[in-house]
Amino acid sequence: MNNRKVYLISLFLILLAGALVSAKIIHGGHSVEHSYSPHLWRISVIMNLSGQGTRAKVRLTLPRENPRQTIYNEHFENGEMVFYIRERAITGNRIGFWRSELLDGFKSIQYTFSAQLRSQSYVIPQELQLPKDPLKAYPADLVHPMTLLSSEFIQSDLLKPHLKKVIGREKKVYKVVQKIYDYIRGNVEYRSEKGSKDARATLDKLTADCGGQARLFVALSRAAGIPSRIVGGIITAGGVKNTTHVWAENFIGGQWIPFDVVNDYYATLPAHYLELYRGDYSLIKHTGLKKLEYFFIVGEEKMPPLDNPWSLYILPTHFQAMVKVLLQIPVGAFVVAFCRTIIGIQTFGTFTPILLSLALRQVSLEVGLLCLGSVIFVGWLLRKVLDHLKILVIPRLSIVLTMVVIMVLVMMILGFHFGYQQVLNISLFPMVIMTWMIERFSVLEIEDGTKNALKTLLGSTVVSIVTYYILGITVIRTYLFAFPELLFVIMAFLLILGRYTGIRIVELWRFKELKKNLGEAR
Amino acid sequence: MSFWGYKELGLLGMNRRNACYVLNRNRRALYPLVDDKLKTKDILDRHQIPTPELYFSITSNFEIRLLKEIKFLKEFVVKPARGAEGRGILVIVGREGKDWRKASGELISVEQLQYHVANILSGLFSLGGTDDHAFIEYCVHSHAVFRNIAYRGVPDIRVILYRGIPTMAMLRLPTKESDGRANLHQGAVGAGVVIQEGITLGGVHHNKLIDIHPDTKVPIRGFKIPFWADILEISAKIYESFGLGYMGVDFVIDHILGPLILELNARPGLNIQLANRKGLLPRLRAIDALGSDVEKFSWEKRLDVTRNLAS
């Protein structure tokens, strides 16, 4: 009868979701060209911060697009820290900042993105001569003077006397670059070391890691009057790693051409080089931390590129976090509906457990439950007093609500005083909902007895905890964000749930005596 | 017996009740007729179906003062019009000076009584917490036959009416725990009733099958409910007045007035199956098997269907 229609509509919804998802896969990924498909990587930068109870700040340069790489499907898990992105005009770097006014204990932040990488080779024009006055010879909008000047670790001025030994009287740019490159490859020995040497020290010791060698290359190039800069990134290969790589880029004939002395890539880069920053910087900087550990998890990208104009990825990153919370609500609703219709757990209100579990996610489970328990206990005591004083319902509810707010404030102060900074997040608790819980609990207690009231309270808590754990599954969050169309699937399941006429699991227990009775009658 | 065991028993679960019977048979527009007891009373009065007499109703806060003016009433019951599961019902059985005496024996001051009514008006006991009315009605005294079997309070009789046909019934006996109320989840005892004869089967208390009343220690089985034919007749006749295909009718038997309809319920509970030790589904299906115009049968014919229901 009706069920057929319901199943048909559910099927339709699932098909609709499927169609939208595949349309997104087929027509999505505008920035990624399919001809390059093999080198798709999914890279997570995970930073584990150990705070020391002070203001803390972390900055990470984020990869950006260039002809060799396309970045898409970016995800930020900011661990409730303030997050923003700034563009740097001079270097063209894109920098993500995480800030926390008070960071205590351990915190993990994660930046995940997909990258399509390509190899590219460059042709160095042979007719170019070294300019007489390098600072005036290059277009100011393409070449910043910094790429020609001496700096702390790239002492091109100091190396000028040595340059003669390397390039002789050569004036042709392509030969100069070739000579510098060959000189370093021929004379400097690779040695992995802690902290890269500067250009001068590299030249003195003639042993260096990639950083030192790249600095020497840049310094010599700049000394010769060719704009040159350091480029940092990682060499992608599946697995976990925490090493970055550094190479150099010279501005020749209107474009920046890469040179990796250590791995011998001359005017070419293979497809597994991912550029993360430009300039002689470090990838990650931090202040106010006891310790910061970082590592990269590199894997092949399996999720197709989705950055068409209609995906959620185009939203500004700080809105994306909010969208993710929104997307959790239907998932939570499904869990609650399941617990209530299939299992038959009683809860206070339908949506209370969802809001509670969202709040618990912000605060952490133990602290959240402790706070919830104490708020409800104090509210219940207050409610008893108000009942004794015969206060009308609406003012009474408002008084309890005020008390809930006071409780939350007190707990924030207490928690902060004793060094539990997580407690500060309980300001996100749904206070109106908690007030209603107190009221319903009290009425239920008077009407149906303490046992029943506690049972319903327990039911609400259990459902909240279950929802909490399910919302914690990263896969669900990531995929819902990539394909919000999956919400139609949730709707379809909810429809089917809405026509579930079977027995609830709790009812089995409720009717068990009857079953026994029937068994005895046989 | 199958693994779950319930299929064989024909037990109606909450989900199936809601999806297949309540949502299917009860038009939403008709709910207010049973959810609001004042409306129910009005309809019952108009059809001259016996129900406890309404003394007066209180619909706004300023009328609460009227409670002070009660002079000649010795006993009465205060009820919320839209209360659920027996919530907010206050039974007053006497007066002690300025205070009133509750059925449980406790005293209650006029202020407390007014506070209770104020709570009712602001919707504390109502379905969904919306604003409500309170009313004061005749206090039913239970028929003498129940004196031994019930612990205080007034036992009531719940009849499930499916498409106008009395389908299953139970006698609900208050206990010490239920504080005079006849709601099973508040601790009252439910006893199944042979629908054709009005004789009780065993009972149920908190999902446990019992044969003896936990407080009075009187056997529950084999008790003959008086006025059973009248109860069945009233149940069958009431259907046309309300039009709900699946409802519960709650009777009480007054020592003077006989069977009275206390209230109606559009979503009768499922404990009646435990009390009767039988699932409802076989009976519901048997009625559905009679075709689509069961509702159009005369009430006599509908009672015939009841008589022929397999027990």
DSSP string, A495-521: HHHHT--S--HHHHHHTHHHHHHHHHH
Taking an 8 Å cut-off on Cβ atoms, the answer to whether B4 and A449 are in contact is no
Per DSSP, helices labelled H in A418-482 are: 431-448, 450-471, 474-482
pLDDT tens-digit readout, A345-401:
888 877 888 988 988 887 788 888 888 899 999 999 998 898 888 777 788 889 999
B228-250 average pLDDT score: 92
| The pLDDT of residue A15 | 94
From B122, B137, B152, give the residue that closes a domain. B137
B159 and B34 within one domain: yes
- Find the residue in B nearest to A501 (Cα): B16
Instruction: Give yes or no: residues B78 and B175 share one domain.
Output: no
Say if the Cβ atoms of A507 and B11 lie within 8 Å. Answer: yes
* Range with lowest mean pLDDT among A102-106, B62-66, B130-134, B192-196: A102-106
- Partner residue facing B16 (CB), from A344, A443, A501: A501
Residues from chain B that touch A515, judged by Cβ atoms under 8 A, are 1, 5-6, 9
Domain match, B42 and B72 both? no
Band the pLDDT of B3: cuts 50, 70, 90. Answer: very low
ipTM for this prediction: 0.72
A-chain residues within 8 Å CB-CB of B109?
none
Does B1 map to a domain?
Answer: no
Band (A317; pLDDT cuts 50, 70, 90): low
**Which of A514, A516, A520 is the best substitution to test chain B (most B C-beta atoms within 10 A)?**
A514
pLDDT of residue A310: 72
**CB pair distance less than 8 Å for B85 and A499:** no
Look at residue B252 and tell me whether its pLDDT is greater than 80: yes
3-class secondary structure, A177? helix
For residue B87, the distance in angstroms to the closest alpha carbon of chain A comes to 6
Would you state the pLDDT for residue A36?
Answer: 46
What is the token pair recorded at A33? Answer: 């060209």
Would you state the torsion angle of the CA atoms of residues B253, B18, B9, B263, taken in this order, to the nearest 10 degrees? 0
Whether B9 and A514 lie within 8 Å, measured CB to CB: yes
- Percent of chain A exceeding pLDDT 90 equals 16
- Confidence label for A31 from pLDDT (cuts 50, 70 and 90): low
Inside any domain, residue B11:
yes
The helix/strand count (H/E) of chain B reads as 10, 13
- Residues from chain A contacting residue B1 (CB–CB below 8 Å): 515, 518-519
3-state secondary structure labels for all residues of A228-281: EEEEEEEECCCEEECCCEEEEEEEECCEEEEEECCCCEECEECCCEEEEEECCC
Q: Are residues B167 and B107 in the same domain?
A: no
Contact residues, chain A, for B24 at CB < 8 Å? 2
Higher pLDDT, A435 or B51: B51
Rounded to an integer, what distance in angstroms lies between the CA atom of residue A392 and that of residue A395?
Answer: 6
Q: What is the CA radius of gyration of chain A?
A: 31
Asked if residue B252 and residue B176 are part of one domain, the reply reads yes
Contact call for A443 and B125, based on CB within 8 A: yes
The per-residue pLDDT for range A64-107, each reduced to its tens digit, is: 888 888 887 788 888 778 888 888 888 888 999 999 888 878 88
Residues B157 and B21 in one domain: yes
Could you list the residue range(s) of the whole structural domain that residue B45 is in? 6-50+142-308
Tell if the CB–CB gap between B19 and A499 is shorter than 8 Å. yes
Provide mean pLDDT across the span B65-94.
85
Within 8 A of A512 by CB-CB distance, chain B residues are 207
Q: Spell out which residues of chain B touch residue A513, defining contact as CB-CB under 8 Å.
A: 204, 207-209, 274
Instruction: Work out the minimum CA distance from A500 to partner chain B, whole angstroms.
Output: 6
Question: Residue A440's closest chain B neighbor by CA?
Answer: B124
- B218 and B290, same domain (yes or no): yes
- As a whole number, mean pLDDT of residues B81-106 equals 85
Is the CB of A502 less than 8 angstroms away from the CB of B16? yes
B13 and A502: CB-CB below 8 Å?
Answer: yes
Q: Is the pLDDT of residue A446 over 80?
A: no
- Please check whether residues B237 and B147 belong to one and the same domain: yes
B87, B122, B209 ranked by CB distance to A517: nearest: B209
Q: What is the pLDDT of residue A308?
A: 63
In a domain, B101, yes or no: yes
Q: Is the pLDDT of residue A334 over 90?
A: yes
Chain A residues with CB inside 8 Å of B85's CB?
447-448
* Residue among B8, B112, B124 whose CB faces A443 most closely: B124
Q: Give the chain A residue nearest B109 (alpha carbons).
A: A390
Q: State yes or no: pLDDT of A157 exceeds 90.
A: no
Strands A207-208 and A189-190: parallel
Domain boundaries defined on chain A? 34-119+299-305, 125-270, 315-482
What pLDDT is attached to residue A521?
57
- pLDDT number for residue B42: 94
In this prediction, what percent of chain A has a pLDDT beyond 70? 93
Q: Is the pLDDT of residue A213 over 70?
A: yes
Number of structural domains found in chain B:
2
Q: Which residue among A390, A507, A515 sits closest to B13, beta carbon to beta carbon? A: A507
Q: What type of residue sits at position A460?
A: S
Q: What is the second-level CATH architecture of the domain A125-270?
A: Roll (3.10)
Residues of A in contact with B207 (CB under 8 A): 510-513
Task: Report residue A12's pLDDT band, with 50, 70 and 90 as the boundaries.
Answer: very high
Q: Point out the domain boundary residue: B116, B137, B158.
A: B137
Backbone angles phi, psi at B118, to 5 degrees: -60, -40
Q: What is the mean pLDDT of residues A162-169?
A: 82
In a domain, B21, yes or no: yes
Tell me the chain B residues in contact with residue A500 when contact means C-beta distances shorter than 8 Å: 15, 19
Instruction: Give the pLDDT of residue A302.
Output: 63
Mean of the per-residue pLDDT values for chain A?
84
Residue B118, domain member (yes or no):
yes
3-state secondary structure of B107: strand
A500 and B270 within 8 Å at the Cβ level: the answer is no
Cβ B9–A500 below 8 Å, yes or no?
A: no
Per-residue confidence (pLDDT) for residue B147, from 0 to 100: 85
Residue A474 has pLDDT above 70, yes or no: yes
CB–CB of B13 and A501 under 8 A? yes
Instruction: Please count the other Cβ atoms lying within 10 Å of the Cβ belonging to residue A147.
Output: 27
Are both B166 and B101 inside the same structural domain? no
Instruction: Report the C-alpha gap between A62 and A49 in whole angstroms.
Output: 18
Lookup: tokens for A290: 């006891």
> For chain A, how many helices (H) and strands (E)?
16, 16
| B13 contact residues in A (CB cutoff 8 A) | 501-504, 507
- Contacts with A510 from chain B: Cβ below 8 Å: 207, 274
How close B207 comes to chain A (CA, Å)?
6
Among the partner-chain residues A393, A511, A514, the one whose CB lies closest to the CB of B119 is A393
Picking from B137, B170, B193, the residue at the C-terminal end of a domain is: B137
DSSP state of B278: S
Pair B36, B59 in one domain: no
Burial (0-12, 13-18, 19+ Cβ within 10 Å), B186: buried
Is A502 close to B87, i.e. CB distance below 8 A?
A: no
B277 and B230 in a common domain: yes
CATH number of residue B230's parent domain = 3.30.470.20
Structure tokens at A184: 């370093």
User: In chain A, which residues touch B (CB < 8 A)?
Assistant: 2, 341, 344, 390, 392-394, 443, 447-449, 452, 498-504, 507-508, 510-515, 517-519
Contact flag B16-A504 (C-beta cutoff 8 Å): no
What pLDDT score does B163 carry? 92
In whole angstroms, what is the distance from residue A309 CA to residue A320 CA?
A: 15
Taking the CA of residue B153 and the nearest CA in chain A, the distance in Å comes to 16
